[in-house]
Chain A
Amino acid sequence: MAGINPGSGPCALSECLRGDERDVRGMERECERTYHRFYNGILSRKASIIGLVLFLSFLLAAIFSPFISPCDPWDRFEPYLPPDQDHILGTNDLGQDILSELIYGSRVSLIVGFGAALMATIIGSSIGLLAGYFKGMADEILMGITDIFLMIPQIPLIIVLAAFLRPSFWLIALLMGSLWWTSTARVVRSKALQIREMGYVQSKRSLGFSHLHIIVSDVLPNLSQVVMPKFLLSIASAMIAESSISFLGLGDPSMKSWGMMINFAFSRGGFINGYWWWYMAPGLCITIFVLSIVLLGSFLEERDESIMEQQ
């Protein structure tokens, strides 16, 4: 995992996100190594459990947002209120309660993140699976396509497309999903290459089972351990990318995501006037959520490794 953090410094937007495979493109052996390198021993088990708890609480907040938010995010009170008892996190320029915005915003941000990640994972896994399982010509063609997709500067492309289309959140998620499958495809392919040589696959093949049957019942279940952490990281990167795109003013103004909230605070003077509560809360939420995903990912990773060792 080279970087979940798109947009930062030289590691531009999502480019570095897909870095884990990208940095060693064309070198499958190295692929998986680097991937494990990121997580290996970085975190203790305790940290992983904190990650899990945080992740679940964000998830619950998103699911039950109408029940836990103190008021409707579109209701208007007095503007620019600093945090106090009535409005725990204060209000924005339109007098909307920031805590409620934040809770409802988690829905938008999570849906975009999950949607994009799901799509990227499905595309990536199928391409990687087909390439790795069938090898030969299919592998050549599919990996050629993957190589070409890897070279597209994705965030700049999304920005250009978004500028033309003035997109909805669905479209942004769709664009991210259709561009970000490459690293998943690479990891899945190298795993599938290993699995197809395993005894149980070989024996099933010699017994005459169909490819479809072998893929569904033997290969797919074994891929989950590489796909799952990848999926989580895709969520994290999609969320950061979504917030970055929203920050550029290319988001959907009718949907309040965390990135949109920061964008509003930045463009409507919340920053110049020192209304720190306006942009601190959504920024921290993004950071903490992404952090929780990284921690959780390391948890899955550790679990898989211990399972592998036991086998």
Chain B
Amino acid sequence: MLLGKKATRYAIALFLIVSLNFFIPRSMPGDPLTNLLGEDIMLTASSVQELRERMGLDRPLSQQFLDYWHDILRFDLGYSFHLHRNVSDLIYDRMKWTLLLSLPAMVMGAILGTLLGARAGWKSSALRRTQTGFIMAIYCAPPYFLSLIALYLLSYKLCLFPLKGFYSTGSALDIAHHLFLPSAMMALFSLSRNYMIMKGSVLQEKGSLYATFARAKGLYDEQILFRHVFKNALLPIITLLALDFGFIFSGALFIEIVFSMNGMGSLIYDALLSRDYPVLQGSFLIITIMVVSANLLADLLYSYLDPRVRWQ
């Protein structure tokens, strides 16, 4: 029964958000045709008429709505008149690069963040307090700002890394060289969040009875932490990581802009600058689907990992 209720909520959410995508361009001020095609496109009167018919804008709204869903189910996200390509092809091309950038970063951030955070929560020392302060400052900074500083110092002043892009020659080593700094920045941010949560989580678990019992039976400190406390403290992080998965394409938005990398993020940014609405909407749709499925994943994962939730 609980599962049914949840499934309905997901279905409703997905339906509403995708429908929102239909209504936004049609309800915004201005001509819906402009809103659907993007601005700064020169059109003659006859082609306007033709496009209006082809896009179905002369039909009743209900019919348009059905057509819209029909297109989506066929993965047809429209056509970008700026880039002269299908939106779905554009997004597909960019996705791979973004994945290459953000996946390693997320994994690194998750591993380092939880390990460091767990240690910091377990035992406090002057060094760890400094570390916490440092990580907290990162956590509070706008990501694009820190990336700008890193780019300026490491790439521009010290010439350690390339200034922009994913590759210049295309060899694996070259790509790795280009990816290192942006990935590291992204990993740093994900680390800082995971660190903070994990630290608090370990602090809370530390006082629980099973930890005391483990100590009483003579386990070493490290063993108590990593054999017993760690697993329980990890629960909130795991859900968060599952949710991160929903933002795997859009999460790198600012990093991609700062490092001028041609991924999903800069696709969105360029679409914003040129008011290329089909691309903007197509990306929003993909993000939405990712986010809703990540939520589902998080729910399933959590109920699998935490029996208290499963048995409710």
Contact = CB atoms under 8 A, between A and B. Distances in A.
Interface in B236-255: 236, 239-240, 243-248, 250-255
Interface of A: 1-5, 7-13, 15-16, 19, 22-27, 29-30, 33-34, 36-42, 144, 147-148, 150-153, 155-157, 159-161, 163-165, 236, 240, 243-244, 247-250, 259, 262, 266, 271, 274, 276, 279-280, 283, 286-287, 290-291, 294
Nearest to A288: B140
15 contacts: A9-B188, A9-B255, A10-B109, A10-B251, A23-B240, A40-B200, A42-B132, A144-B12, A147-B13, A151-B14, A153-B291, A262-B148, A279-B148, A283-B148, A291-B136
B65 interface: no
A7 B275 contact: no
Interface residues of B, number: 85
B186 A148 contact: no
A3 B139 contact: yes
B189 interface: yes
Contacts of B269: 248
Nearest to A148: B13
Contacts of B24: 160-161, 164
Contact of A7 (B152, B239, B253): B253
A262 B199 CA distance: 32
Contacts of A37: 197, 200-201, 203-204, 236
B167 interface: no
Interface string B254-289: 110100000000001100110101001101100110
B295 A150 contact: yes
Q: By CB atoms of chain A within 10 A, which of B109, B199, B236, B292 has the most?
A: B236
Contacts of A290: 140-141
Interface string B143-167: 1110011001000100000000000
Interface string B1-42: 000001001101110110010001100110000010000000
Contacts of A262: 142, 144-145, 148
Q: Is the interface of B mostly helix, strand, loop or mixed?
A: helix
B186 A10 contact: yes
A165 B193 CA distance: 32
Contact of A286 (B29, B141, B201, B280): B141
A249 B281 CA distance: 18
Contacts of A286: 141-142, 145
A156 B280 CA distance: 9
Contact of B287 (A4, A41, A156, A240): A156
The 4 closest A-B pairs by CB, nearest first: A8-B189, A12-B247, A37-B200, A8-B143
B114 interface: no
A19 B236 CA distance: 10
Contact of A156 (B12, B14, B250): B250
A11 B142 contact: no
Nearest to B233: A37
Interface in B184-219: 185-190, 192-193, 196-197, 199-201, 203-204
Contacts of A34: 197, 201, 236
Given A4-B139, A164-B28, 19 more contacts: A4-B140, A9-B105, A9-B109, A9-B187, A9-B188, A9-B252, A10-B109, A11-B247, A15-B247, A27-B302, A30-B235, A37-B203, A148-B13, A153-B284, A159-B272, A161-B24, A247-B142, A279-B145, A286-B145
A23 B243 contact: yes
Contacts of A8: 143, 186, 189-190, 192-193, 251, 254
Contacts of B308: 29
A171 to B, nearest CB: 12
B309 interface: yes
Contacts of A19: 193, 240, 243
Nearest to B258: A266
